[in-house]
Structure 1
Amino acid sequence: MSMTVADVIALPEVARGEPTVLSDAGAGREVRWVHISDVADMSNLLEGGEIVLTTGDALRADPRPYLTTLASTGVLGVIAEFHRDWHVVPPRIGEFAASLGLTLVVLSREVRFVDITERVHRTLVAEQYEAIDFARRTHEVFTELTLGHADAAGITDAAAELLGTAVVLENLGHQAVASSGALASNVLRDWERRSRQEGGGASGEAWLPVWVGREDDRWARLIAVQPDDRDRTVMVLERAAQALEMARMAERDQLDLERQAQAGLIDDVLRERIRDEKEVAARAAALGVTPSAEYVPATLRVVDWPSESDPVSTQRRTAQLLDIVVSGVRAAGHTGLFSVRDFGEVRMVLSLKVNRGRSRRQMMDALAHALVRDIDRITGLGNVVVGLSASRAGVLSAIGGLAEAREVAQVAASMPPSGRIVFEVPDIRIRGLVALLRNDPRAGRFAEAELRELILHDIQTGTDHLDVLRAYLRLAGNKSALATHLHLSRPAVYSRLARIEEILGVDLSDGESMTSLHVALLILDAQSRATGTGR
């Protein structure tokens, strides 16, 4: 244990000298060492944090310079023995010592200074040895856990056991993902709200947090609740954080191998390098996919995926998205194959956990909402859609259905917000049909024939008749609504529409003409989205 100046004064070895405390300034400070000397100037002998034991010769001869020199070197206090000439203690010297921040004690009886130094040094050395031994045990515990591939719960348990207090591991969303130690269940009550409070911890609680992860990639916090020793707590939490980071890296390496294998299987099937259902099913099962009567092809797409010039940052963000999706699927009790098709897009072949009380669509809706919640909380990108294709009886055919699932997700991402997350072909209606047919050259020729003259006119004249036509068809031919949308008068709108009819040679009041033009525009827009170009 550490010792303060007051602790030293209270020792029996000091009490035998019948001490009188002339100044108790700084009596609560911790003592580093005890030094015996009657030398008047000890500035070259001391390092600070000491108590000086002296027979008082220097204090009698020139007390103020003597005490001033000691204070300047960082001495905490002076215990002086005046047992033979108690009457010569310098007057008002206690007040002067207090002004310097020094503790000053005089002894009226003779004592053995060596007894005092032995007692103090034995205590201090024992504390230092105990601290070294604790550091050794901490190192051994977390080294063993790291070599044993312990999980987050095991590492958190070890930290709590070493510290003798509750320790909580929370993610960036302030959710407690692991906890251990005395009264941990009470500590977790209303955890997320309390953790978000400024400084952490509610009123009366002392929390000591340590980040987990590199400074540019922090992913969790370890928090000790009501710690006894700050330095010891920080050491344990930092060592536990290192073990957690090592465990995460090892897990990520394993997951990287697993996901590379899953992506490789999907790619092998799509490139027709494997055509045998039994072989595909066996490889999928070996990669953790639960055998099922049906498999669901799905594509998750983040609509507002940010475009970044730094490829490393983009890759890291994409890997994070994949991590969130895989973790969310497994947390819901499902399994599957996963791969990244494009930035902000994850394709999946899912084996859903059987739930007789819920349909496939209900399970997918619940899963999608959970994934969106996690993606939004961790990345701040909550605009997400999930495209589904029809369930398949085998893994091979389910992988083949990923193209359709992707088409559905792409179309859904372009539709106006509706609150829906999961989309199937019937949900995207004509846009879904157009998306599926957009690469058919016949569809392209149809759109070209319908709109070519208007596109050329806009290019040559710099007008925007195509956009006017698009708005007119989207508003189902409502000219009043079109005038409001374009911020034009009705006569101006009528003139623009008449000019479009003249260029295209059609009657915009004719239902079949409107339908043909609308489908042509949808094809044009779908092709533009697919290529990333304008019209």
Structure 2
Amino acid sequence: MTLTVAEVLELPVVRSGEPEVLSGRRLTERIRWAHSSDLADLSSLLQGGELVLTTGTALARKPRKYLSGLAKAGAVGVIVELGTVVSELPDNTGRIADELDIALVALHRKTRFVEVTEAVHRRIVAAQYEEVAFDRHVHETFTELSMKGAPLTGIVDAAAKILDEPVVLEDLSHKALVVSTGTPADLLAEWEMRSRRSPGKRSDSEPWLATGVGPRSQQWGRLVIPRRAADAGRATMVLERAAAALAMRRMVERDKTGLQQQAQGGLIDDVLRGRISDDRDAAARAHALGLRHSAHYLPAVVRVPGPTAFGDPVAAHRRNVVLLDAVAHTVNAAGHSGLFSIRGDGEVAAVLALREHRAPAADKTLAALGERIRREVHRIDGAEGTVLALGPAARSVTDTIAGLSEATDIAEVAMAMEDDRPYYRASDVRLRGLISLLRDDRRVQRFAETELRSLLTDTPQSEPTHLTVLREYLRLAGNKAAVADRLHVSRPFVYKRLTEIRELLGVDLDDGESMTSLHVALLVHEASRQRA
């Protein structure tokens, strides 16, 4: 940043000359250069934006002519030294400078102009070098991010870090797609309404700075600093560079999920990984992304059976995108709102804000929604047996997202059940559902460890292991022949393994209570391993 006339007057070398402001015009205007001369006509030497230093001969003789020539040449101001050549100026000199809109300052003590120009030029050159260095840093940062294929969040965070300002990427419907890390939650409050009031020009109501993202005729979003930027010039330049990087990234990801769904998935992932822990921040981002305010939210998981394209990851990704689009469209079309994310092959997680969340109306609403999702997914994907699993309702967005893990477990259990329900809760998956709810209880974990300790620490010499044989034995209600057939081993091998298990555990495997106890312990052990 270059110096203003007022800042020049604060330099020690100028202050020692006891400056007196005769015309306060343009004191806050920045100067391009400082020029020292006693010529009566400097118009041919100036390019505009200069601060002229003079001993005052021409100024004292014909003040209007002298100042008029400087003003026409674009000079910002004049500093005149009194006492060496000229002792005083005509009384009307200050008024003339005011009329011509040019700063005029008199120095009442002898001043070495060479020291003034050196100090001014040193600051100007340093500022220009700093601007060049800053511009190079910005260029290198976004070029590197583009070359590395950085995600949208990485580009937005880079812009925010460079400017030390909050930065938001929004789409054309004013949904906040990406919010820079550390952005205060209050800046996202009522985002859509406030964003619509800010067309991109700084105003008193919403002094935002914004730039469009994408080609002029095909813009798909805006990059916004949602407050008054400390340095508007630098901020505009950085936003434009960042917007170019975002547009390039968008071109690369044209065949992937939509921007809003990427942003929703990113928010869910940030909460699950602990990058966002404050519920106010999470809720502000969620509402800015379209999740309606609600007294309760539901964690939901939609699982779809069918072949997975292990050999073709592109086909698998496209199938998952179709599934996500179908679920999101169905939820929104039913009058609800939500956040959606692909969490695995054939699996979509969602945070739902239902139109009606009070029982018993909520049960009917969920049943209708489950049926609609099943029909829509079948129509698009052809999948049979689509499952909608629900975790416990929560008041906060972060708690709801945390509940997605339980919904995932319920969905996994429900997929293996023959029961056909429009939606599943933990209570609907019977014993496995109970274990899903209690598996984190240390008393339940201790029970499983106590029951199975001997098998968990024992390593047999051949496969299948003791745990595998016991698991199938209990699943098949003690039918040894069926166990041998299921594991593709001989019956004598099964009898031998069961004898070893009986000796290791010290229990009667034919006793009904022992079988139940061991079966529960195995289910707890499996649930704990899946959670890890």
Answer yes or no: is the 8 Å Cα contact 1:17–1:108 preserved in 2.
yes
Aligned counterpart, 2:212: 211
Deviation at 1:63, TM superposition (A): 1.9
Deviation at 1:110, TM superposition (A): 1.0
Deviation at 1:86, TM superposition (A): 5.5
Bigger radius of gyration, 1 or 2?
1
Which amino acid in 2 is paired with 1:157? D
Aligned counterpart, 1:244: 246
Answer yes or no: is the 8 Å Cα contact 2:377–2:383 preserved in 1.
no
Answer yes or no: is the 8 Å Cα contact 1:3–1:124 preserved in 2.
yes
Equivalent residues in 2 for 1:394-433, closer than 5 Å? none
Aligned counterpart, 1:388: 379
Aligned counterpart, 1:362: 369
Aligned counterpart, 1:155: 155
Answer yes or no: is the 8 Å Cα contact 2:341–2:348 preserved in 1.
no
Distance in 1 separating the partners of 2:95 and 2:144: 56
Aligned counterpart, 1:287: 315
Deviation at 1:143, TM superposition (A): 0.8
Cα deviation code 1:246-297 (max 9, x no counterpart): 11111126789xxxxxxxxxxxxxxxxxxxxx999656766226999xx99x
Aligned counterpart, 1:226: 228
Answer yes or no: is the 8 Å Cα contact 1:23–1:104 preserved in 2.
yes
Answer yes or no: is the 8 Å Cα contact 1:5–1:28 preserved in 2.
yes
Answer yes or no: is the 8 Å Cα contact 2:310–2:316 preserved in 1.
no
Distance in 2 separating the partners of 1:91 and 1:389: 88
Match of 2:316, SS state, is: coil
Distance in 1 separating the partners of 2:146 and 2:2: 32
Aligned counterpart, 1:485: none
Distance in 2 separating the partners of 1:19 and 1:394: 87
Aligned counterpart, 1:28: 28
Distance in 1 separating the partners of 2:51 and 2:381: 83
Equivalent residues in 2 for 1:372-387, closer than 5 Å? none
Match of 2:48, SS state, is: coil
Answer yes or no: is the 8 Å Cα contact 1:332–1:367 preserved in 2.
no
Match of 1:79, SS state, is: strand
Answer yes or no: is the 8 Å Cα contact 1:161–1:181 preserved in 2.
no
Deviation at 1:175, TM superposition (A): 0.8
Is 2:340 the partner of 1:331?
Answer: yes
Q: Are residues 25 and 196 of structure 1, via their aligned partners in 2, closer, same or farther at CA, if it must alter by over 3 Å?
A: same
Cα deviation code 1:455-492 (max 9, x no counterpart): xxxxxxxxxxxxxxxxxxxxxxxxxxxxxxxxxxxxxx
Deviation at 1:102, TM superposition (A): 1.1
Cα deviation code 1:74-129 (max 9, x no counterpart): 11111111214664422211111111011111222211101111111111111111
Q: Are residues 198 and 166 of structure 1, via their aligned partners in 2, closer, same or farther at CA, if it must alter by over 3 Å?
A: closer
Aligned counterpart, 2:497: none
Distance in 2 separating the partners of 1:279 and 1:367: 17
Aligned counterpart, 1:126: 126
Q: CA RMSD in A?
A: 4.1
Match of 1:288, SS state, is: helix
Cα deviation code 1:4-57 (max 9, x no counterpart): 111112222112222222111111111111000011111110011111001111
Instruction: Give percent identity, aligned residues only.
Output: 40
Equivalent residues in 2 for 1:165-204, closer than 5 Å? 165-180=165-180, 182-199=182-199
Distance in 2 separating the partners of 1:291 and 1:37: 76
Answer yes or no: is the 8 Å Cα contact 1:299–1:387 preserved in 2.
no
Deviation at 1:139, TM superposition (A): 0.7
Is 2:141 the partner of 1:138?
Answer: no
Larger mean CA deviation between 120-129 and 79-88 belongs to 79-88
Which amino acid in 1 is paired with 2:233? D
Distance in 1 separating the partners of 2:140 and 2:87: 59
Deviation at 1:244, TM superposition (A): 0.5
Aligned counterpart, 1:73: 73
Answer yes or no: is the 8 Å Cα contact 1:170–1:220 preserved in 2.
yes
Q: TM-score normalised to the size of structure 1?
A: 0.52
Equivalent residues in 2 for 1:376-525, closer than 5 Å? 388=379, 392=383
Equivalent residues in 2 for 1:3-42, closer than 5 Å? 3-42=3-42
Answer yes or no: is the 8 Å Cα contact 1:5–1:27 preserved in 2.
yes
Is 2:82 the partner of 1:99?
Answer: no
Answer yes or no: is the 8 Å Cα contact 1:281–1:394 preserved in 2.
no
Distance in 2 separating the partners of 1:189 and 1:15: 48
Distance in 1 separating the partners of 2:319 and 2:198: 48
Which amino acid in 2 is paired with 1:77? G
Q: Are residues 140 and 34 of structure 1, via their aligned partners in 2, closer, same or farther at CA, if it must alter by over 3 Å?
A: same
Deviation at 1:354, TM superposition (A): 11
Answer yes or no: is the 8 Å Cα contact 1:165–1:182 preserved in 2.
no
Answer yes or no: is the 8 Å Cα contact 1:22–1:104 preserved in 2.
yes
Q: Are residues 390 and 359 of structure 1, via their aligned partners in 2, closer, same or farther at CA, if it must alter by over 3 Å?
A: farther
Q: Are residues 2 and 101 of structure 1, via their aligned partners in 2, closer, same or farther at CA, if it must alter by over 3 Å?
A: same
Distance in 2 separating the partners of 1:132 and 1:164: 19
Deviation at 1:204, TM superposition (A): 5.6
Answer yes or no: is the 8 Å Cα contact 2:197–2:206 preserved in 1.
no
Distance in 2 separating the partners of 1:84 and 1:120: 22
Q: Are residues 254 and 172 of structure 1, via their aligned partners in 2, closer, same or farther at CA, if it must alter by over 3 Å?
A: closer
Answer yes or no: is the 8 Å Cα contact 1:289–1:351 preserved in 2.
no
Distance in 1 separating the partners of 2:237 and 2:371: 45
Q: Are residues 81 and 367 of structure 1, via their aligned partners in 2, closer, same or farther at CA, if it must alter by over 3 Å?
A: farther
Unpaired runs of 5+ residues, structure 2, are 259-305, 330-336, 352-362, 387-532
Deviation at 1:330, TM superposition (A): 10
Answer yes or no: is the 8 Å Cα contact 2:82–2:109 preserved in 1.
yes
Equivalent residues in 2 for 1:75-90, closer than 5 Å? 75-84=75-84, 87-90=87-90
Distance in 2 separating the partners of 1:48 and 1:141: 34
Match of 1:210, SS state, is: strand
Q: TM-score normalised to the size of structure 2?
A: 0.52
Distance in 1 separating the partners of 2:125 and 2:374: 59
Answer yes or no: is the 8 Å Cα contact 1:208–1:227 preserved in 2.
yes
Distance in 2 separating the partners of 1:211 and 1:354: 30
Distance in 2 separating the partners of 1:81 and 1:363: 86
Answer yes or no: is the 8 Å Cα contact 1:333–1:353 preserved in 2.
yes
Match of 2:21, SS state, is: strand
Aligned counterpart, 2:59: 59
Distance in 2 separating the partners of 1:128 and 1:190: 40
Which amino acid in 2 is paired with 1:83? G
